[in-house]
Structure 1
Amino acid sequence: MPHDGSARARVAKPRATGAGPGASGTPPPVPEAAASVRVLAFTGAALAAVYAPGPSGELRLADITGSAVAAYALPERLPLSGDSPAAHVVRTGRPLWLNHAALAAFSEGAPTPPAQASLGALPLRRGGGALGCLVVVGEGADGFDPEQQRFLERYADAVTGLLPAGTGGGQASPPLLCPALRSLRAGSFALVPDTGLIEADRTLLELVGIAPDDFDGKVDTLLAHALPEDMHVLLSVLEPTPRVLGGRRLEFRVRRPSGGTRWLSLHCRAVAGAAGRPEQVLGVVTATPVLPRSTDDVSRIQWLTVALDDATTVADVGRVVVTALREPLGADRVALAELRDDRLQVAVLDPPDAAAWPSAWQAERRAEGPDAPVGALPTLRSALRDGRMELWPAGTALEPGLAGVGPGGLAVLPLPAKGRTAGLCLIGWDQPHVFAAEERSLLTATAALVGQALTRAHAHDAEQELATMLQRSLLPRRLPDLSGATAVARYLPARRGLQVGGDWYDAIALAEDRVALVIGDVQGHSAGAATIMGQMRTAVRAYAVEGHPPDVVVAHANRLLVGMETDLFATCCYAELDLEEGTALFVRAGHLAPLVRHPDGGTEEVSVEGALPLGISAEADFPMTAVALAPGALLALVTDGLVEAADLPVDEGMRRVRSALAAADPSDPGRVADQLLGAAGRREDDVALLLLRYDGMTTRPIRAGWTVWRLPDAVMHARRFTARTLRRWHVEDVADAVLLVVSELVTNALVYTQGPVHVDLTLRGDRVRVSVSDASPRAPAKPVIDDWEATGGRGLLLVEAMSESFGSVPVASGKQVWSEIAVPRREPSPSDPGPRPNQRDVP
């Protein structure tokens, strides 16, 4: 499609009549302002101006352009409370269209000298607030016709989108009028018929599909992109006669580089020379979304073909069908339904109000539309069976399921596609309708086009649904509940191509007081990237729950990706947080740095030492960076889709996210995440966002540890350590159960494993946790046969019976077997000093 590079559009300079055909030269560029003047002239506007409120209660002239800026003097300032069209429009929020006579009723703000000028004033509003006013001055006394008014209303909307809040407040306003006109995609040209040279602006070249550097200034280059069957109407522009000096309008099609076609609308007028014959042709070309109702059926079918070629979803096809049929045919209702497994699934209803359709449809209504079996509607079943259009005149008695759809006439169109029927289209009239022969032909041709488009759109929707399901299945359904922290995440797919990508996130609860956060991005946007993403997320989670430190987790994931022998690489940021101490260990592999919002509202990028992305080198090192978090801090991990785009450098994107973090209310991390994604409508890439608000643990655990010596009385020493600790913590009520669990777990570790054994006791709230770590990765096995002769494994059954909960988890050096015993509640005595926190025994 159009080339959007940095090169400026080069055009041929029109030569004077009589220039030799062999003359040549490099076409000079067309200034944007000159192109804007041409387009405005075809809207009947001699000039356009923007007035914006100033700081002292007045309207200031913020921008002006046009062919008659010097001829018509507009005031630089207008009182906001005064009697000028601009002030009236800003106060009321309603547009004014004034011919010469009506303009004379206003005492201020009229162009001088008045001559026979007319004026239009349109409000510039956003979010209910007044940003200013667009004023257009016409040289004719009769004012602007309806078509010109519609274009200028679109122009005002485009200006509003570019107008910053506060314009006119003493600061220089950026150019508004020319960029806004360019955004409407209206191209202009100046043609010299005698030489065949044409001066075309950049927008016209984009509409036709010519790269600016490839344009040589010759009209034949433009004509080469037009469809041959439309050439005859374009030749009347190339060879104008004196009777077309007043101007004309026509539609034609061009072949796009992608192979499709595009309808364009051309408005032109010839300028007479001294001899009274056309010497130059000036024109404006715009994209044509819908042909006017007065066009012939052939043109309507041509437009329908182009419009359906651009329709990608079933909803898009429905909108095109409604536009093509309801108004041109004067119909009151149009319904489009897909045929799925002998059931009709209605995709589009126009009007959408359910009360306008049969009550049976309302009873069957689903969230996505009515759904009814074909067998319940004999009329539709017959049309589907025969594959032939059926037209039912006014007064026909139809089944209750169709009663009221078309009391004045009903057309039932089966939609054929690839040897089968893709669906049905119903068109209904309230007043008696006569089906003309031309209308029958139009409906038949429409049905074939819509059926093919519906099949393509259904396949596209199914592909997108599959991609969405794949993406959702690879990302966590929910994040864990954490003690002392709240984590939220968001994911948005890219808005182009297959809506599946390689961004991922995860929050992994490693223990009650530790959590791992990870965010990453696999290169590319495809099912392959999503598959690698799922494998990497699973691998990182597996390595993390084994108890490895962050650098080892990322190193293992890196070697796994290298071993996959894929051409894709991945970036990753991994953080392990100690929620009790408020410390975090970060590892960054080619990813964006994490952001943190401090409790005082200040934000910063966390300075984390970087490393190579995953999948580049199996020998890469991944250093760790330790960071302290204060209660109330908000940690943000993002992917580049949020902070980088074609028109957004990553540094500026990170600055915007930091500003949004600073302005957000951290009490609701979910709302903060939604605010950060608020500007993601521009996104070209998928976006992953992971936020964690660190609050600090309200109940700090008390810990004690003991390294078990491999001596004959090792279990006795472990029991003594446990008894001392429980007395110090004043939880002797559970001493018997805890001592039994310690005896059994330590005995198993000494008998069945080699290497060091360690006992950890933790008191958190009303629970005592016993953890015994050893060097063997094998989980303890319960007895398979439970009878009076079996002896092995009975200790584990006993531990399980005495525990509120019991289990085994792998750790980096082996495994950890744990048990939790509930502590009975009791009233503290005045002499009870309570447990001393965080005391650790040394053997």
Structure 2
Amino acid sequence: MPRDGSARAGVAQLRASEAGALGTGPPSSAPEAAASARVLTFAGAALAAVYVPGGGPGTETLRLVEAAGCATPEHGLPERLVLTGDSPAAHAFRTGRPLWLKPAALASFSEGGPASPSAGVSLGALPLAAAGTRLGCLVVTGTAADGFDAEQQRFLARYADAVAGLLQAGDPGPAPPRLLGPALRSLGVGSFVLMPESGLIEADETLLQLVGILPHTFDGKAATLLAHALPEDMPGLMTVLEPSTEASGVRELEFRVRCPGGEMRWLSLRYRALGSTGDRPDRVLGVVTATSVLPRSSDDVSRIQWLTAALDDATTVADVSRVVVTALREPLGADRIALAELQDERLTVTVLDPPDPAAWPEAWRADWRSDWPDPAVAALPTLQAALRDGHVGLWPAGTALEPGLAGVGPGGLAVLPLPAKGRAVGVCLIGWNQPHAFAPDERTLLTATAALVGQAVKRAHAHDAEQELATMLQRSLLPRRLPELSGGTAVARYLPARRGLQVGGDWYDVIALSDDRVALVIGDVQGHSAGAATIMGQMRTAVRAYAVEGHPPDVVVSHANRLLVGMETDLFATCCYAELDMEEGNVLFVRAGHLSPLMRHPDGSAEEVRVEGALPLGVSADAEFPMTSVALAPGTLLALVTDGLVEAADLPLDNGMQRTRTALAAADPSDPGRVADELLGDAGRREDDVALLLLRYDGMKTRPIRAGWAVWRLPDAVMHARRFTARTLRRWNVEEVADAVLLVVSELVTNALVHTQGPVHVDLVLRGDRVRVSVNDSSPRAPAKPVIVDWESTGGRGLMLVEALSESFGSVPVASGKQVWSEIVVPHREPSGTDPGLPADRGGPP
């Protein structure tokens, strides 16, 4: 019969599943009927039944459409009930109010109870309604003589709401959809049967989802479930795995699991031991529910434990604020929660719940900033007094408060100063709209909560300040902007690690050595800490200095290596250095323990450039760093990366390089910035910091024309240099600037011959509308202009003339000494048919 057939089926399936768990193979996931029976058992119900209206006019009845549980025959219920009859279900349906009947009260109803009632059977009848429509009635029978306790009643009320929702969405016709099992699943209640002797466990799909295990991957072992729990919660869970026969009745505990996405979830476990053989129970029956917040019925110790653990995972002030709202608003039934830090006698609000300005006092809106208000403490005397005294203030409904607080809690207001290290670091406001009766022990609970939150705010504020400092440090050590290049475009990206101090040892740099030469460098100092960042800054500065001096790539890297060895640090660094001739498209690579560069060719193919490697920097002062030459075609993309982009705990290096190479080949090179973003992909949880440097080589649109002259130290050396310059300017058809250029050459060559020893060399370059004159000598000392100029002084006047005639003028150190240069603008002229690109003079006397 329907009144007990489903229940007996549930018993059979439950026993069959338990028998399967006793076998040698891993149990399968629990059947729905068995899982429902286990959950209902912990709700104090032996049977749950759904009645819906049926029958024609004048014969309205409630008919039984579904039952679930593990009821014995004495708990069976009638198949039909008359709506106007004297049954608990009909009474609950007509009145719309639930009935909770103990055995004595149940006996007063003439119908609608169990077919064979016993002295220990109780009953609950809960009306099913949705959107004002009566849909039926949920009837549950229990075995406890004292009926259903308050916690069980609350759960069964939620169960009835879930059944009503499904009933409204479905069609309660002759074959209505299943309700009881899906309703339990929607409540997020999982169940299990554990066999302590074998360690095998039968868990339903809901429990596996709560723990974060895919049902088809579960092997049926309790240890697999326990592996997802936090280590500090293991001692409590071991009492479930190894129960004692002396432990009787239902036992409860709460524990945490780490979900696959990394977030933490709180779970509540209720279990009891069944049967015994020797000193160990035969099996353990239990249910598990998710507890994002502890129910109000939980004891204060459990609530404080939950808050302590949740705040321990909160690293920022924003995280602390979210935890406070979760921990206080729902359990206390509050309508408003505000949390603010105290900074310079002003309250910096970190969270308002709800965030709508209309929900807060008018006085707050005047101080509303971009996100939250920023009121002064002096404008709120109640808060000022609470912060001064450091005591929790509870203000019942009707208390006269200043306008700034009157609208926060018209039904009651709690003011919680947040103490930390002897002073208040902030305040938390909790407000109710309806009159709130403060319980005698509520002040104690709120005081303990305030102390925990205050310490968390202090710790989170220090963390935020530390991260801000780390960000500023990292930004100060990396280039603010990359130079504009003639013949190419360079872009870079840097992402800090998302664990620990967000500052690391990855660095990059783009160094414009001249108009047609550029150096690219990327490196990684071991670790991501302040020490690694410091070494990184020193190495970047050293590499830049050596490069600007004009050293070839192998010498630059060798000098940087010797510098790091001399620092006597335990850290080492890897580096990839590339010097690119923008005019010819040739690259010289040096790789010191770093990843090989990647290259995307104009045809869309990508490859890993085979660059001969060497030891990382800082390992050996005598290490050699060979150079590898590679030719680039216009349209080539060159990518230098650090290992944080291509390697992780779940991503082998080879796979990461292959993935990045594939992404580089598929990218559109017309926008290097977008290419860089695509290579980074979804950053997610990064284990290491990431640096990425991209260069698109386009080739120089205007190729420079060059000529050079080696100055011999003869009495008429300056005359020969002037003749060489004049011939060159005539050949280039830029004689209109001859006077200025010849004067610059005369002064710079004279200074070099008079004030230095060794070779002197003159270089002339015509690029577009500019003539560049460069004079190299062997002295590292920069030329000095006179500090005081009067009619008697003679020294230094030449440099002042050069500076006056030049569009730009300067001096840079080079490997063999220094280079003094001047640029002179050529006036606009009509294009000439002559070809100035004739072979350049090689120097020497004519």
Does TM, normalized by the shorter one, top 0.5? Answer: yes
Determine the structure 1 residue equivalent to 2:555: 552
Amino acid paired to 2:212 = L
**Distance verdict in 2 for CA 1:102–1:117, change over 3 Å:** closer
**Distance verdict in 2 for CA 1:183–1:534, change over 3 Å:** farther
Deviation at 1:565, TM superposition (A): 0.4
Deviation at 1:427, TM superposition (A): 1.2
- Is it true that 1:497 corresponds to 2:484 in the alignment? no
Determine the structure 1 residue equivalent to 2:483: 480
Figure out how many residues of one structure are paired with residues of the other and give that number.
678
* Structure 1 segment 77-476 matched on structure 2, within 5 A: 118=178, 142-146=180-184, 148=186, 150=188, 181=209, 184=212, 200-207=222-229, 209=231, 224=235, 239=246, 250-252=252-254, 264-268=267-271, 279-283=282-286, 289-366=292-369, 369-476=372-479
CA deviations on 1:582-601 (whole Å, 9 max, x unpaired) are: 12111100000011111111
Deviation at 1:37, TM superposition (A): 5.6
Deviation at 1:392, TM superposition (A): 2.9
- The 1-side partners of 2:35 and 2:672 are apart by 52
The answer (yes or no) to whether the contact 1:240–1:278 under 8 Å persists in 2 is no
- The 2-side partners of 1:482 and 1:586 are apart by 19
Determine the structure 2 residue equivalent to 1:833: 833
Determine the structure 1 residue equivalent to 2:752: 749
- The 2-side partners of 1:823 and 1:404 are apart by 75
Where 1:565 maps in the other structure, the secondary structure is coil
Where 1:201 maps in the other structure, the secondary structure is helix
Deviation at 1:150, TM superposition (A): 4.0
Deviation at 1:286, TM superposition (A): 7.6
Sequence identity percentage: 73
The answer (yes or no) to whether the contact 2:487–2:698 under 8 Å persists in 1 is yes
Counterpart pick for 1:627 among 626, 630, 640: 630
**Distance verdict in 2 for CA 1:328–1:287, change over 3 Å:** closer
CA deviations on 1:199-242 (whole Å, 9 max, x unpaired) are: 622231441639xxxxxxxxxxx974569xxx7x999885566x
- The 1-side partners of 2:751 and 2:32 are apart by 88
- The 1-side partners of 2:625 and 2:207 are apart by 48
Deviation at 1:379, TM superposition (A): 2.0
Determine the structure 2 residue equivalent to 1:12: none
The answer (yes or no) to whether the contact 2:576–2:590 under 8 Å persists in 1 is yes
**Distance verdict in 2 for CA 1:366–1:656, change over 3 Å:** farther
- Is it true that 1:543 corresponds to 2:546 in the alignment? yes
Determine the structure 2 residue equivalent to 1:842: 842
The answer (yes or no) to whether the contact 2:506–2:523 under 8 Å persists in 1 is yes
Amino acid paired to 2:183 = D
The answer (yes or no) to whether the contact 1:807–1:819 under 8 Å persists in 2 is yes
Q: TM-score when scaled to structure 2?
A: 0.73
Deviation at 1:310, TM superposition (A): 2.3
Counterpart pick for 2:603 among 600, 605, 610: 600
**Distance verdict in 2 for CA 1:100–1:304, change over 3 Å:** closer
Deviation at 1:544, TM superposition (A): 0.9
- The 2-side partners of 1:302 and 1:234 are apart by 23
Deviation at 1:284, TM superposition (A): 6.5
Amino acid paired to 1:250 = E
The answer (yes or no) to whether the contact 1:39–1:284 under 8 Å persists in 2 is no
**Distance verdict in 2 for CA 1:776–1:34, change over 3 Å:** farther
- The 2-side partners of 1:39 and 1:742 are apart by 95
Deviation at 1:822, TM superposition (A): 1.1
The answer (yes or no) to whether the contact 2:208–2:215 under 8 Å persists in 1 is no
- The 1-side partners of 2:671 and 2:37 are apart by 53
- The 2-side partners of 1:671 and 1:179 are apart by 44
**Distance verdict in 2 for CA 1:425–1:711, change over 3 Å:** same
The answer (yes or no) to whether the contact 2:592–2:617 under 8 Å persists in 1 is yes
Amino acid paired to 2:842 = V
Amino acid paired to 2:702 = T
Where 1:371 maps in the other structure, the secondary structure is coil
- The 2-side partners of 1:798 and 1:474 are apart by 39
Deviation at 1:619, TM superposition (A): 0.5
Counterpart pick for 2:509 among 498, 506, 521: 506
Determine the structure 2 residue equivalent to 1:159: none
Q: CA RMSD in A?
A: 3.8
Determine the structure 2 residue equivalent to 1:568: 571
Amino acid paired to 1:793 = G
The answer (yes or no) to whether the contact 1:263–1:306 under 8 Å persists in 2 is no
The answer (yes or no) to whether the contact 2:38–2:286 under 8 Å persists in 1 is no
The answer (yes or no) to whether the contact 1:251–1:263 under 8 Å persists in 2 is no
Deviation at 1:391, TM superposition (A): 2.6
Determine the structure 2 residue equivalent to 1:781: 784
* Structure 1 segment 634-649 matched on structure 2, within 5 A: 634-649=637-652
CA deviations on 1:368-424 (whole Å, 9 max, x unpaired) are: 643333223222111111112223334444444435322333221101122111110
The answer (yes or no) to whether the contact 1:596–1:635 under 8 Å persists in 2 is yes
| Larger-gyration structure (1/2) | 2
Where 1:615 maps in the other structure, the secondary structure is coil
- The 1-side partners of 2:210 and 2:447 are apart by 40
The answer (yes or no) to whether the contact 1:186–1:284 under 8 Å persists in 2 is no
Amino acid paired to 2:252 = L
**Distance verdict in 2 for CA 1:355–1:473, change over 3 Å:** farther
CA deviations on 1:299-331 (whole Å, 9 max, x unpaired) are: 212211222222222112111110111111121
- The 2-side partners of 1:415 and 1:180 are apart by 39
Determine the structure 2 residue equivalent to 1:74: none
- The 2-side partners of 1:551 and 1:676 are apart by 29
- The 2-side partners of 1:101 and 1:500 are apart by 54
Determine the structure 2 residue equivalent to 1:52: none
Determine the structure 1 residue equivalent to 2:126: none
Deviation at 1:800, TM superposition (A): 0.5
CA deviations on 1:355-375 (whole Å, 9 max, x unpaired) are: 433455444344564333322
**Distance verdict in 2 for CA 1:41–1:593, change over 3 Å:** farther
Amino acid paired to 1:144 = P
The answer (yes or no) to whether the contact 1:704–1:838 under 8 Å persists in 2 is no
- The 1-side partners of 2:666 and 2:257 are apart by 49
Show structure 1 runs of 5+ residues with no match.
1-16, 18-27, 47-95, 108-115, 119-140, 153-176, 191-197, 211-221
**Distance verdict in 2 for CA 1:569–1:421, change over 3 Å:** same
Where 1:345 maps in the other structure, the secondary structure is strand
CA deviations on 1:144-177 (whole Å, 9 max, x unpaired) are: 235545479xxxxxxxxxxxxxxxxxxxxxxxx9
Show structure 2 runs of 5+ residues with no match.
1-17, 40-163, 191-204, 259-263
The answer (yes or no) to whether the contact 2:574–2:592 under 8 Å persists in 1 is yes
- The 2-side partners of 1:265 and 1:630 are apart by 65
- The 1-side partners of 2:416 and 2:177 are apart by 53
**Distance verdict in 2 for CA 1:262–1:581, change over 3 Å:** closer
**Distance verdict in 2 for CA 1:424–1:602, change over 3 Å:** same
- The 1-side partners of 2:760 and 2:272 are apart by 95
Determine the structure 2 residue equivalent to 1:723: 726
- The 1-side partners of 2:356 and 2:395 are apart by 24
Deviation at 1:263, TM superposition (A): 5.9
- Is it true that 1:658 corresponds to 2:661 in the alignment? yes
- The 2-side partners of 1:812 and 1:42 are apart by 80
